[in-house]
Amino acid sequence: MTFSRFIIYSLFVTWAGYLAGCRPGLNDTVLIPQQLTDGLNVAGAKLLYSQTRKACEGVYSVAEGSPIFGGEIAAKWSYLAKKPGDTTYYMSLFCEPQAAFFVLEGRQIGDSLVFEGFWRRLVNAETGTARFVVVEANGASALLAPDCCTALKKGQVIFKGVYGDGDGVRNQLLTLTYDRPLNPKDFQILAHRGGGRTSDLLPASENSVEIIRLAERLGATGVEIDIRQTQDGVPIIYHDNQLNLRLTQKTGLIGAVENYTFDQLDAFVRLRNGEKIPRLTQVLDAVLNETNLQTVWLDSKDVRDMDLIRTIQQTYQQRASQQGRKLTIYIGLPAEERVAQFEALPDHAQLQSICELDTSVARRINAKVWAPRWTLGEQIPSTLAMQQQGRKVFIWTLDVPEFIQQFVQNDTFDGILSNYAPIVAYYHYVHQQ
């Protein structure tokens, strides 16, 4: 066999292998370690009081473990109300390198505070478990004191922690020392597709009820979700215009999602992590009843009946008001066609809406939020003009850490939409005005 023929055959085989490699990576998954809170469920363990949780929030400097998790970490609590009387509180730690974050639960055990949970890097598949302890001498007494809501002093609280890779032994040290409170600015950290993308191997699929429940632990204060309508007019949450293996499990059904009835989707289609494609109302129920999210951005991907979307928005907005929730539900308008549908509503000027087009359109429809694409630049004069007219400005969809840092430090915008909410949370909370 001549050398040239060998080269041709090898190229042929390489090409075939490349095609085989084009198959969607359906085996990719990140298994978050289980049995995370075994160390908390011991005799005498108590749930933490709300003032203790509140006092734990802040920016911590990293003494041991800084090469891995950066020099500072922001700690923020969130909760998930699974049902009335069954609420779980989570402390998330947001780090700078590689979008790393921790999700921990805490207990008071004796005179100490103990936290256990997992860590994950969002830019790769690394994960593991972690355990932190604050003993009495390291500030537990200050956190447990009835008046602990008063500001802590720098260095007053020290979290002594260990972490490990996967389900392995936790043998690496991570020590956090309280430095200062979180950045208090009213700023929206908006999680794209309900919390994050399926391709980032989160434990829940994008645009599912489950990812909405996870969003706050990822640092989000609001979510963006994508609305489409089924053949029979039911508003559902789904990003792409096609059923495909990127978002759904293989069932043989393909083609435009709008061609299927809701019953067909409900019976046959499952998202990548096994969830059903949710109705818009199911998602809003979860936001309202199970989370403390403040903003919902209803991105009108394919809406035929804008009046129905308005009715649902108004219904849930009223329910939020009745519950005393600080929640704003915006109708997102990404294109001229949606704007035209929205303008056809007689009361559109009074509705909460997000306009992704230029400032003149935002003014014309009296959008409450103007949302330019981040690649257009900071657009400071336009942003300030919009804010002077009483509108907020959210920037989308910003995933590059350096630019997130730049836009946060700019201190002009009211929110950032990102697939990496933990990074936005980190840069926002550690930012000193």
Pairing of strands 172-180, 158-165: antiparallel
| Class of residue 26 by CB neighbours under 10 A (exposed 0-12, middle 13-18, buried 19+) | exposed
Q: Which one of the spans 79-87, 99-107, 143-151, 260-268 is the region binding another protein (CB under 8 A)?
A: 260-268
Smallest distance from the beta carbon of 165 to another protein, in angstroms? 19
Report the greatest alpha carbon distance in the chain: 85
How many CB atoms sit inside 10 A of residue 43's CB?
5
23-to-239, 240, 401 alpha-carbon distances in Å: 21, 19, 30
* Residue keyed to tokens 């699929």: 205
Of 240 and 378, nearer to another protein (C-beta) is 240
Q: x/- site string to another protein, residues 394 to 423, per CB under 8 A?
A: ------------------------------
Smallest distance from the beta carbon of 195 to another protein, in angstroms? 17
Q: Which one of the spans 17-25, 301-309, 314-322, 360-368 is the region binding another protein (CB under 8 A)?
A: 17-25
Q: x/- site string to another protein, residues 181 to 220, per CB under 8 A?
A: ----------------------x-----------------
**Contact assessment for residue 173 and residue 65, using Cβ atoms and an 8 Å cutoff:** yes
Residue 252 touching another protein (CB under 8 A): yes
Task: Select from 32, 118, 143, 70 the least CA-distant residue to 401.
Answer: 70
**Contact assessment for residue 165 and residue 189, using Cβ atoms and an 8 Å cutoff:** no
Q: In 3-state terms, what secondary structure has residue 82?
A: strand
Rounded distance between C-alpha atoms, residue 181 and residue 163, angstroms: 25
Among 16, 42, 137, 145, binds another protein (CB under 8 A): 16
Among 110, 166, 181, 274, binds another protein (CB under 8 A): 274
Among 169, 254, 344, 376, binds another protein (CB under 8 A): 254
Among 88, 261, 323, 389, binds another protein (CB under 8 A): 261
Of 180 and 276, nearer to another protein (C-beta) is 276
Among 81, 253, 345, 385, binds another protein (CB under 8 A): 253
Which tokens in the block code for residue 268? 């046959």
**Contact assessment for residue 258 and residue 302, using Cβ atoms and an 8 Å cutoff:** yes
Residue 29 touching another protein (CB under 8 A): yes
Residue 233 touching another protein (CB under 8 A): no
Task: Select from 222, 293, 291, 288 the least CA-distant residue to 80.
Answer: 291
State the number of binding residues for another protein (CB under 8 A).
43
Compute the half-sphere exposure of residue 226: CA atoms within 13 Å on the CB side of its CA. Answer: 16
In the complex, the residues that contact another protein under the rule CB under 8 A are 1, 5, 9, 12-13, 15-17, 19-20, 22-24, 26-27, 29, 31, 203, 231, 242-245, 249-256, 259-261, 263-264, 267-270, 272-274
